[in-house]
Amino acid sequence: METLLTSYDPSYPQDRDPIPNNLPASDENPDIIKFTGPSQIDPDSPIDRRICLEPLPIVLPVNERVVLPTDFTAGSNWRDRLEAARANLPITLAWELLRLDGSPSSSCNSPFRRDLNPSFSITPDGQRWKDWGTDEGGDVFDFIANAMSLPIGDAMRVGIQIAESGVLPLGVTPGSYVSKRRDEVLREKAEQRKLWPPMNPPSEAELKTIAELRGISIEGLKLAVADGVLVTTTWYREAAWCVRSRCCHNCQARTMSGKPWGMIDGKAKTLRGSLGCIPIGLPADKPIIALCEGGPDMLAAYDCIQELGLRDQVGAVGMMGSTSNFSSESLEHMRGKRVRIFIDRDEAGRQAAAKWATQLRSVGADVDGFEFDDVTRSDGKFVKDLNDLVRLPRCETSNSFIRKAFNFNN
């Protein structure tokens, strides 16, 4: 039996089926995330790279390792008991026994987060659940894992005991486990943010350095500064430029030298205490949003907005990683807006674009995507993202692609 979701993130335990034997082998599952579009570029007439990010089925890959409940001895009928629990313990009953907030139904509020509008679904047979706001889902074991913040193996053991006894295992206290854990995490992150270094608007010299590093005009950078998005600081004894959310709850830093962060490695580092579910930017007064992945692409979007005179219509928004999800509060700020996602030219970028499109459509946003396939740089390599496109030597072809990328009239 194939299990289909609209997107897949292996970092979430709820997106892994603990009993994969009935699924086809992974080498039988070709990559089915495809984006339509011409394969050639006519230099005299650049092709519109806009694509429709419709929810596409993605087959969950096989997990060869089955997590065994620790209370099952070798030779016992653990697999039969696991399958029986999956079939006989509906998610609605698990919800009620754990005394989670809300009422389970085919359209209800998520018990795992603050959900301003119903975006949680349970199938009529009670066997599967889906959170359309975060694109998470799974079976009853995944539900228990989310509800109690447990590893999937522990959730399987708890689920079997509930299914066989009809009551909660000894020592399991009902309540909103995730809400309690979330409050603790938020308090911890708030304390970590107090340790952030002072941040200031960049000086003219710092703007010039950033412009040279990223191939972005100083005028475009000044738009980001005016929005409070671009700041500078000293972190780990390194001069750094940062993109920071307006609420100051999410911040990602890069060195002014353009080099990795030495001992901590990596070119981009998210400061401890950041909330990745909060986008950078998110202007409330703009009807159109250019959504990018990462700080450099976001600054490139500012550059294009400035160059094309779109300051009053288009706002730049950045998610600081392909695994990030929008918070329900952030999604409300995007309600009904026109959103274009600039897709990084890799599998993670395409997966993220499909996921974000699904989340944004849950609040009525009009979403499409723009990809960079077949656009090449002077060294013959493909343009992989918006910052790469902006850094191309300006000519009629590159200028036409930028105009196409920011043409929201079609």
User: Do 177 and 244 sit in the same domain of this protein?
Assistant: no
pLDDT at residue 171, rounded to an integer: 67
Name residue, tokens 């309600």.
335
User: Do 219 and 160 sit in the same domain of this protein?
Assistant: no
Half-sphere exposure of 13 (CA within 13 A, CB side): 20
pLDDT at residue 311, rounded to an integer: 94
Full-prediction pTM beyond 0.75? no
What is the distance between the alpha carbons of residues 267 and 214, in angstroms, rounded to a whole number?
A: 13
pLDDT at residue 157, rounded to an integer: 86
Number of domains making up the chain: 2
CA angle 71/74/78 to nearest 5° reads: 60
User: Do 274 and 356 sit in the same domain of this protein?
Assistant: yes
- DSSP characters for 200-236? BPPPHHHHHHHHHHHT--HHHHHHHHHTT-EEEEEET
User: Do 102 and 160 sit in the same domain of this protein?
Assistant: yes
What is the distance between the alpha carbons of residues 139 and 160, in angstroms, rounded to a whole number?
A: 13
User: Do 139 and 106 sit in the same domain of this protein?
Assistant: yes
What is the distance between the alpha carbons of residues 226 and 109, in angstroms, rounded to a whole number?
A: 37
User: Do 128 and 216 sit in the same domain of this protein?
Assistant: no
pLDDT at residue 3, rounded to an integer: 32
pLDDT at residue 266, rounded to an integer: 78
pLDDT at residue 175, rounded to an integer: 60
Give the DSSP letter of residue 97: H
pLDDT at residue 61, rounded to an integer: 32
User: Do 113 and 149 sit in the same domain of this protein?
Assistant: yes
- Which parts of the chain register pLDDT below 70? 1-76, 116, 170-171, 173-182, 263-265, 373, 410
Residues of the domain holding 152: 66-188
* CATH number for the domain that contains residue 159: 3.90.580.10
Name residue, tokens 């105009």.
403
What is the distance between the alpha carbons of residues 375 and 401, in angstroms, rounded to a whole number?
A: 9
User: Do 213 and 85 sit in the same domain of this protein?
Assistant: no
User: Do 254 and 394 sit in the same domain of this protein?
Assistant: yes
User: Do 183 and 213 sit in the same domain of this protein?
Assistant: no
Give the DSSP letter of residue 15: G
| Torsion over CA: 197, 201, 204, 210 (sign) | positive
* CATH number for the domain that contains residue 285: 3.40.1360.10
What is the distance between the alpha carbons of residues 326 and 279, in angstroms, rounded to a whole number?
A: 7
